[in-house]
Structure 1
């Protein structure tokens, strides 16, 4: 038999927060769930295709043509790029779904053109999508060194710390005097005629004037730039460059780092600071989940 309204209220009085141990029991249960949540590397409950289907907005057929790579370019990327990023339409679908979910204002046919900077553009699919909708899309990339062959790891340096191109002369991505002249995704970017600027995103300020872009996007990349204790400095640079919005999506923390409190404590602090962000005229208007983690943060200029 269903409980009456009075019985439901009486039950809540006996078991506050719906737990037999009351609110303290609920809080302990949530603490354990939080630890499980951080360790969960399960896939997103909504696949890319399900997101696109929910919006009823398919990428145009023109995007289904593969990258135009000659034999030399194909040989290069076969040694430097993961196989999953070689299929152009898969890349397009991932970027299309992300923008539909989090930047719908940029996905309007005939909408106002915007100036958009994407940090760490990789294969450039997001730039392709933005260009399709008439936006001026500028990308950034750099040859990240995430412990490559026991070399330096950009994820643990300080912001404005070690200049990686000065320390990895034998990686064959540098001219020898410091500047990066090549990077893994260059063949994809050139095949699509995209505008990508090369600079180390772990060093600020970036080579753009204040308020150069309407929006700044950074997907699965900020953890490559520096240690999480300095990520808010990177966010400050994003808001310096943006006039309207900033969208940041984090990578999930790798499992071997989940027990490293020197990493996790500033990571959690970053999540908290982003949820309550109020600086440079920007405020956080959305904090969301991706890959079962709190990793999505959208800032808007509300001043």
Structure 2
């Protein structure tokens, strides 16, 4: 969700609860571990605002009602899980140690004034949750540990997933499917999500980068993949919502929500 979308959307929904407006508590970690996270994702209030709005827009039914079992794939900074946990749900997540040499992971020292100020604030307070040995290539580990969330490391492109059949009410996956597999395999990945889910699967898409969108062959492959998910009707699940948004790259699918039939 881009900054202008966040600003415009906030006016239409309840304000983010106050407990999600504080910083991460990262005094337990050396600076070089913290700065492996992209600077924008070190701002907990902004992360939580995006997740708060996604819940209101895409899964408002989870804002009330009885507790549910919820799995988020590629949870990253964990803000969606921490809000769902606050709402009484039983949550778990996955992530992947993807930040290896040659990846797009940030490993940048502080350079700007606000970098230094943010780093000073984050390291001024310690958390009291259990800490595991540092996992190479998992930049979000300090954030997940500081929140006390349960996250399993698993490559989303590898099937089967380490979860039992129908063990979760909801399976959620934002902006990660494109990293799991090429468009030709998306249906296989979604089949696996539906195997695990009892009620719903929610998938958020990344927009195609401008360079890829201008490549006709690549764009057709992605468009075919989106259209297959738009028409998904398999193993007891159907697509019931398919949203399209707009960025500088043009219109593109943003969300697919499948419901058990």
What TM-score bracket applies, with the shorter chain setting the length?
Answer: 0.7 to 0.9
Q: Superposed, which structure 2 residues align to 1:241-252 within 5 Å?
A: 241-252=196-207
Comparing both structures, which one devotes a greater share of its residues to helix? Answer: 1
Are 1:235 and 2:193 matched, yes or no?
no
TM-score by length of 2: 0.81
- 1:145 Cα shift? 5.4
- 1:259 Cα shift? 3.5
| Match of residue 82 from structure 2 | 128
| Match of residue 9 from structure 2 | 51
| Match of residue 5 from structure 1 | none
Q: Superposed, which structure 2 residues align to 1:19-98 within 5 Å?
A: 47-55=5-13, 57-70=14-27, 72-78=29-35, 80-98=36-54
Looking at structure 2, the residues matched to 87 and 43 of structure 1 have their Cα atoms a distance apart, in angstroms, of: 15
Would the alpha carbon gap of residues 81 and 150 (structure 1) be closer, same or farther in structure 2, given more than 3 Å must change? closer
- 1:71 Cα shift? 6.0
Would the alpha carbon gap of residues 102 and 70 (structure 1) be closer, same or farther in structure 2, given more than 3 Å must change? same
Looking at structure 2, the residues matched to 262 and 184 of structure 1 have their Cα atoms a distance apart, in angstroms, of: 33
Show CA shifts across 1:253-287 (max 9, x none): 11221244453222111111111111111111111
| Match of residue 166 from structure 2 | 211
Task: Give the RMSD, CA atoms, in angstroms.
Answer: 2.3
SS class of match (1:201): coil
Tell me which of 265, 270, 276 is aligned to 2:225.
Answer: 270
Gaps of 5+ in 2: 105-132
SS class of match (2:192): helix
Say if 2:97 and 2:136, in contact at 8 Å, map to a contact too: no
Looking at structure 2, the residues matched to 189 and 132 of structure 1 have their Cα atoms a distance apart, in angstroms, of: 15
SS class of match (2:11): helix
Which is higher, the Rg of structure 1 or of structure 2? 1
TM-score by length of 1: 0.70
Show CA shifts across 1:111-130 (max 9, x none): 21011110101100011111
